[in-house]
Amino acid sequence: MTQKTPLHPGEPFPTLTVALPEGRTLHLPDNLAGHYGVVLFYRGSWCPYCNAQLRAFQRSLDRFVDMDTLVIALSVDDEATTRDLIAKQGLQFPVGHSADARAIAAATGAFVNDDPVYLQSTGFVLDPGGGVVVSVYSSGAIGRLVPDDVIGLIRYLREHSPPADRHEWRQPRRPAVDTQAKPSSMRARWG
């Protein structure tokens, strides 16, 4: 078994390319630059716990937008299954498909189920410079980020960190998106 190293607070989030439906892609953490970000790895559309988590983040999406926080999710599901999940759950944030579970696990420390192969639930909150604020790893069905906790954490960070002192140990990444816009939905944000 390959030794996996979890990502710790303060470490940079690794570069990942995320395939989105209709041939689009996102590049993490670059496409989150200048914003707080939430990255969710979910087991698959078949997982009731994952569906509940994705629905909860969708219900809280306006609160995340108000806090200038972007949300993205991904799994090993194929594109058709992911499109169906997006439609069924009414998800308005980017949902990636066809993830290489072993490559992502090697980069992030996520747990992988061996048969069938999929990523176990894993969540990251990233700072505006692409660094890990918190990481949550699960080795099974339960144990994952919840919106209220993430919102509370980001609110605390915004209220208790002087802007000049925030994340000065790392050069900020070049924003890949318009950081001035405050869209009414994440679909508008990701275009």
Find the CATH number of the domain harbouring 44: 3.40.30.10
Question: Does residue 2 form part of some domain?
Answer: no
Phi first, then psi: give them for residue 2, nearest 5 degrees.
-75, 135
- Average pLDDT, stretch 121-133? 97
Given a cut of 90, whether residue 45 has pLDDT beyond it is yes
* Cβ-contact 167, 131 below 8 angstroms: yes
Whole-structure pTM value: 0.85
The verdict on residue 185 lying in a domain is: no
The total domain count for the chain is 1
Q: Show the domain range for 60.
A: 7-120
Q: Write out pLDDT tens, residues 14-41.
A: 999 999 999 999 999 999 999 999 999 9
pLDDT for the residue 175: 35
Decide if 186 is inside a domain. Answer: no
The answer on pLDDT for 133 being more than 80 is yes
Q: Is residue 26 part of a domain?
A: yes
> Cis bond leading into 29, ω under 30°?
yes
Residues 41, 68: Cα–Cα separation, whole Å: 21
**Which DSSP state fits 134?**
E
Given a cut of 90, whether residue 164 has pLDDT beyond it is no
